[in-house]
Amino acid sequence: MNKNLVFMLFAIFSTFYMAHANPMYRNCSHHGSNALVAKVNWGPDPANAGTEITGTYQSKNLTNSTTTTATFFIGFLRKGDNSFFDHHSFHIDSDQNSVTLENFTITTPFSETSYEILFGLMDNGDFVECVTFQRF
């Protein structure tokens, strides 16, 4: 029985780790969103100012299909601020029940080395999935 418990715990935590390969992530509740936690992997982490980062985002079995307003959003915030000082977005096709973006590439802001980066799937002006990584 202990072997089964150990195997189950290993399976749960290894899946959790693979889904959020970057450490120290948070949901977006501190930004007023109750969206599900997005599954994003990106690097290099941490990224220096003006560094190109590459990542992967995957969402399966969305509750609602995407609409024409769906975007994958990446925003940068300063500590204690809720306004993005830099952001990027990628259009998502409508009528999708799952979304995968492989090897998306952006450049981090040139002016900041300390920031919070937010990744999220937005639709109709709200986050469907969202995750943040503080790099202060």
Q: Are strands 39-43 and 71-77 parallel, antiparallel or unpaired?
A: unpaired
Which H helix or E strand runs over 16? helix 2-19
The reported pLDDT for the residue numbered 2 is 52
36: domain range? Answer: 22-135
User: Which tens digit of pLDDT belongs to each residue from 30-44?
Assistant: 999 999 999 999 999
Confirm whether 3 is domain-assigned: no
Structure tokens at 15: 């899946």
Per the structure, how many domains does the chain have? Answer: 1
Q: Binning pLDDT at 50, 70 and 90, where does residue 21 land?
A: low
**66 in a structural domain:** yes
* CATH number of the domain within which 122 lies: 2.60.40.1930
| Alpha-carbon span 115 to 1, nearest angstrom | 46
| Tokens encoding 17 | 């780790």
7 is a domain residue:
no
Q: What is the mean pLDDT of residues 65-73?
A: 96
Reported as a pLDDT band with limits 50, 70 and 90, residue 75 is very high
For 136, the token pair is: 């202060």
Q: Report yes or no on 15 lying in a domain.
A: no
Domain membership flag for residue 59: yes
Position 3 scores a pLDDT of 52
